[in-house]
Structure 1
Amino acid sequence: MSDESEKSEKSESAFLMESLNATLLSLSQLIQQNKPGNSSQDGLISAMTITLEGKKNFNLWSKMIEMKLAGKDKFGYLDGSKPKPGEKDEACRKWKMEDSLVKDYMINSMHSSLIGNYLPFSSAKEVWDSVNATYFDGDDLTQYLDLVRKVNRVKQAGSSVEAYYSQLQGLWRELDVRRPNPMTCPADIEKYNKLVREDRVVTFLDGLEDRLDNVRATILQLRPFPTLEQVFALVNREENRQGVMLNKEIGVENSMVMFAKGPALTMNKPNFNSKFKTGSVEGCTHCGFTNHTRDRCFKLIGYPEGWKDRKKKRQQRGEAHMVTSDPREATLNGSDASRPTSSTAADPSTAQAATTISMNKHSILPPVENKEGSFNEGSYWSWY
């Protein structure tokens, strides 16, 4: 019995060991398959965000294809650096699989109207060569002339500096594709690139709006001459500063306007339709007068500037009217309005009539708006 139990235990242990070894082998194979460089899907996971629609965006599409595939070591299927192995070679099967994936990746990034033109090709390189032959016209001087004209005509014209800069950058990239650096010597290459960069800085500054003229003049005086990226950063910073200061000035101006309008409307243009009607039951609860309200009472809020001078002038006019009914006539006749005339002194009834006329002229009446739209200032002050 003991021998049989030992045999059964050994068989169970052997079974467990075999199961464990099989599980470890499966995990090892799975890790090996997902290891970078061994997966046929490596580099083709992220989808293209650009769809080939023809000549108008071929340059951008081709650059995206090169970047996606070269980053995962798959661009060799397009430029021929990974040729097809022999049919009897063991690597031929893997090459066909990956070449088909690259071909599928390119065709799926094309517009639906173009897909049918490239499906019959047997390899990714044939698709790539056909697309380049169809849409790339590097030697077409007409398109080169069109690009140069667009660069020279682009201006900021109300747009942001960032949008203006991005538009120029897109045109310059297309020019670089059609007109690459022709130099071969490293020193000549650097000199050529330096001249191109300076020309592009000048073109960028020339298209800016006049409001950025100060920063433009400053940049042209910098030594060593800054790069295009540095110039963009300086101009963009100045535009942001002007935007902040403009908003601040507008806020201050609006506050000043509201401050100026508020007291002016409150002091010089009261609402006579509601609170200043003669005989109205409303009035000031502080001084008792009915020609203004408590919030407009000068005894509480203070008398306005020039109040005493106006009061003296009003009293002088009242005294003059006490002795003559028409002070202008007295002035024209050369008499002194401040002294009573003999006729006035001799006839008390005449003085009484003059007094009545003066009181009528200076009775407490609300100010009347004249033809020019302003209020009679003298009548307004006679309220108080």
Structure 2
Amino acid sequence: MFISLSAKNKLRFVDGSLVIPNKDKPEYIIAWERCNNLVISWLLANLDNIVKKSVLFFETAADIWKDLEERFGYSSITQVCALEHKLAETTQGTASVFEFYTQLKTIWDEINDAHPLPHCTCHKCTCNLTQKIRTRDQEQKLIQFMMKLNECFSTVRGNILMTQPLPKVAQAYRIIAHEERHKEVAQLYSHNESLAFSAADKRNFKPHQNNQPPIYQKSYSSNKSTNLTGNKRPSSHYYCTHCKVPGHNIERCFKIHGFPPGFKGFKDRRVAVVSHSSEYSDPGSSEIKADSITTEQFNQLLSLLQQQ
């Protein structure tokens, strides 16, 4: 209220420093009464209904302000005790450092207003007692702020308390707030990294279908998967449970669904021999029967041996 009245240049109407003009100048009387009534309306608008009724019949704003100051303009030790109890029970909990520091500073300001610190008024002291009292008050507030923080700030709290000389409570708040932001960024980075690893695992994992075993993609290939041009062939993700070989699944197996017209054989001889031998060989034997190759292939093999 003081700030509002001072900004509107009406503070002298409530502190009694503006004298009522003489009645022989009616123009000043009218201007003063208008401004006085304006200040009274501002005061009444900010009062409780019960208090408003008790000051309704005062004629000047200075009389209303003086009456209110006599009734409510004092601080009792009971009020200070209630504020100290509220300060003792205040902890950070789930609040952020900004919210917690704001709560503490509000209580500290209320205590200083109700029970201000003593200071020198003669301006003749040479021991600098006022500055020592203010330094002790800052140290007490710093200790209260440090002891009420959560345990996640124990490391930075120890570093601050070991600093000589001790920083002010506002400087300690900036350090703790910076540490809180650093923890939030680190936690966000670790969370994004874990999500990236999880997404990579989901891309590399192929769930089994049609009773097929799960297959994981590999980012590398062996020397056997390299063709004659030096390019690496991509690894296949299909596996046939009938032929027991990779390269196709059971839905595309020629032995079950039939060979396509004009089929001339497999490009990979090893796959052809393995698939052909697995069809005509015994399950418990690894030997290939004589009818596993044709007569033409046998003659070609014989001619090769004779040439050697």
Q: What is the letter of the counterpart of residue 290 of structure 1?
A: I
Are residue 163 (structure 1) and residue 123 (structure 2) matched? no
Counterpart of 1:194?
A: 135
Counterpart of 1:239?
A: 180
2:87 pairs, out of 147, 151, 155, with 151
Contact 2:36 2:60 in 1 (8 A): yes
Counterpart of 1:95?
A: 32
Mapping 1:32-47, distance limit 5 Å: none
Counterpart of 1:82?
A: 18
- Evaluate the alpha carbon distance shift between residue 88 and residue 248 of structure 1 in structure 2; reply closer, same or farther with a 3 A threshold: same
Contact 2:79 2:114 in 1 (8 A): no
Deviation at 1:183, TM superposition (A): 2.5
- Evaluate the alpha carbon distance shift between residue 136 and residue 272 of structure 1 in structure 2; reply closer, same or farther with a 3 A threshold: farther
- Evaluate the alpha carbon distance shift between residue 91 and residue 175 of structure 1 in structure 2; reply closer, same or farther with a 3 A threshold: same
Counterpart of 1:175?
A: 111
Contact 1:76 1:82 in 2 (8 A): yes
Mapping 1:221-370, distance limit 5 Å: 221-263=162-204, 265-266=205-206, 269-272=207-210, 287-290=247-250, 358=284
1:175 alignment partner, SS class: helix
Alpha-carbon RMSD across the aligned residues, in angstroms, is: 3.4
- Evaluate the alpha carbon distance shift between residue 289 and residue 74 of structure 1 in structure 2; reply closer, same or farther with a 3 A threshold: closer
1:139-161 Cα shifts (integer Å, max 9, x gaps)? x2222111011112211111011
Are residue 121 (structure 1) and residue 121 (structure 2) matched? no
Deviation at 1:110, TM superposition (A): 3.4
Q: What is the letter of the counterpart of residue 287 of structure 1?
A: G
Counterpart of 1:217?
A: 158
Deviation at 1:291, TM superposition (A): 7.2
- Evaluate the alpha carbon distance shift between residue 288 and residue 153 of structure 1 in structure 2; reply closer, same or farther with a 3 A threshold: closer
**Aligned-pair identity (%):** 20
| Greater percentage in helix | 1
- Measure the CA separation in 1 of the matches of 2:181 and 2:37: 50
- Measure the CA separation in 2 of the matches of 1:135 and 1:126: 14
1:184 alignment partner, SS class: coil
2:57 alignment partner, SS class: coil
Contact 1:181 1:189 in 2 (8 A): no
Unaligned 5+ segments in structure 1 are: 1-64, 294-351, 360-384
Q: What is the letter of the counterpart of residue 202 of structure 1?
A: I
Q: What is the letter of the counterpart of residue 235 of structure 1?
A: I
Using the size of structure 1 for normalisation, the TM-score is 0.51
Contact 2:2 2:11 in 1 (8 A): yes
- Measure the CA separation in 2 of the matches of 1:104 and 1:83: 20
Q: How many corresponding residue pairs?
A: 226
Q: What is the letter of the counterpart of residue 127 of structure 1?
A: I
Q: What is the letter of the counterpart of residue 76 of structure 1?
A: R
Deviation at 1:203, TM superposition (A): 0.9
- Measure the CA separation in 1 of the matches of 2:251 and 2:143: 71
Deviation at 1:96, TM superposition (A): 2.3
- Measure the CA separation in 2 of the matches of 1:189 and 1:150: 27
Q: What is the letter of the counterpart of residue 113 of structure 2?
A: V
Counterpart of 1:344?
A: none
Deviation at 1:289, TM superposition (A): 4.1
Counterpart of 2:291?
A: none
